[in-house]
Amino acid sequence: MSPARSSDVLVVGGGIIGLVTAWRAAQRGFTTALVDPGPGGGAAQVAAGMLAAVTELHFGEETLLGLNLASARRYPDFVAELTEATGQDLGYRRCGTLAVALDADDRAHLRELHALQVRSGLESEWLSGRECRRLEPMLAPGVRGGLRVDGDHQIDPRRLAGALVTACERAGVVLHRTWAERLTVTGDRAAGVVTTDGTELTAGQVVLAGGSLSGRLAGVPDDARPPVRPVKGQVLRLTVPQRYAPFLNRTVRAVVRGSHVYLVPRENGELVVGATSEELGWDTTVTAGGVYELLRDAHELVPGITELPLTETRAGLRPGSPDNAPLLGPTALDGLLLATGHFRNGVLLTPVTGDALAHVLTTGELPAEARPFSPLRFGATAPTELPV
């Protein structure tokens, strides 16, 4: 029997943001469908999974901080609920993070970040270089100081994505494993999509959650089109042999020559090293230069890294927005909502995005914490039409 072609809610895009939206919508009693050729794929297959509300705080992003913290607070219950619903371990590790400085300039920058964190009421402790190395003996002897943030944890995004697919299936979400080609509009209202195989899917409400591709769905009027762009990130995966364990006890990060580098140690021995940040359009090539820079910077931080097997190299695309914050909720087109533009914080923002979209789908209003992220804060954008 072919799957139902009509639903209350249709989610376009099956990355973690689309999946959590569909799962939460189905839990609210909406008949829900999702369209994506490979649900559970996308940027979550590349991301390191840092839940770094405090250590990824940037100047000028204090509004986003509120949403990031709200999502971080929800993580323990979210993980418990998703684990209960699926029986799957998500690799959630409450390990904390250490952000360190390698030279005087880095140290000055980290001091400023610390002051901003303290002004923002966040828990972050300044440590000397020696104190950093006492916590993490593999750190380079030259480390000049650091910030200990015990509240910035991690999750394995691949496991998260897999569990969300299972949760959606168990909640009755219909998964259409194909591309959405064009949004259909009836009168002044979004009515569904036509897929690349010509199937017409209709819905009362359509949520566009296509990550970096969200701006490319044909048929979206210019004043409702999300202004997202791809920001490439190359990421490495290494393995810590048992004889070296524990190599690191917590996430370790630094800014080296202006680039962010982080090392995220999983309980299963995987060590994720990320990430480049490149504005190269739709390119997902892993380059010698990208791998070299990541290994060079990670080696400056933790010299012993060169002993570890390098097991995977991969590049993904972050959905960047003009203010680095997500676009959540209704657009200028009735019946079309957005859940995209999460940029560096997609994994962190998964719980709060699911809750915010469930709320707005049910009531028509965004919850208070999500209101600053309405897509209506941006004007119309230039059209670029391709399948999502």
Binding site for ligand GLY (CB under 6 A): 50, 56, 233, 274-275, 318, 344
Smallest distance, ligand GLY to C-beta of residue 146, A: 18
Give min distance, CB of 318 to ligand GLY, in A.
6
State both tokens at 155: 């999750």
Q: What residues contact 32, with CB distance under 8 A and at least 6 apart?
A: 7, 8, 9, 10, 11, 22, 25, 26, 168, 171, 172, 173, 174
- Give the integer Cα–Cα distance in Å for 12 and 239: 35
Give the residue at shortest CB distance from ligand GLY: 344
Using the minimum distance from each CB to ligand GLY, give the nearer residue, 203 or 275: 275
Please say which residue, 281 or 383, places its beta carbon nearer to ligand GLY.
Answer: 281
Q: Which is nearer to ligand GLY, 210 or 233 (CB)?
A: 233
CA distances from 19 to 93, 133, 165, 387 (A): 22, 40, 7, 19
Q: Which residues pair with 206 in a beta bridge?
A: 10, 336
Q: How far is the CB of 50 from ligand GLY (least distance, A)?
A: 6
Alpha carbon distance 34, 32 (integer Å): 7
The strand order across the sheet containing 145-149 reads 125-127, 145-149, 97-101, 251-256, 259-265, 270-274, 229-239, 310-320
Question: Is 152 or 300 the residue whose CB approaches ligand GLY more closely?
Answer: 152
Q: Do 159 and 347 touch, CB atoms closer than 8 A?
A: no
Nearest distance in Å: CB 184, ligand GLY:
34
Q: What DSSP state is assigned to residue 128?
A: -
Q: Smaller CB distance to ligand GLY: residue 235 or 338?
A: 235
Residue 52 or 203 with smaller CB distance to ligand GLY: 52
Tell the smallest beta-carbon distance from residue 261 to ligand GLY (Å).
Answer: 10
Minimum CB–partner distance for residue 233 and ligand GLY (Å): 5
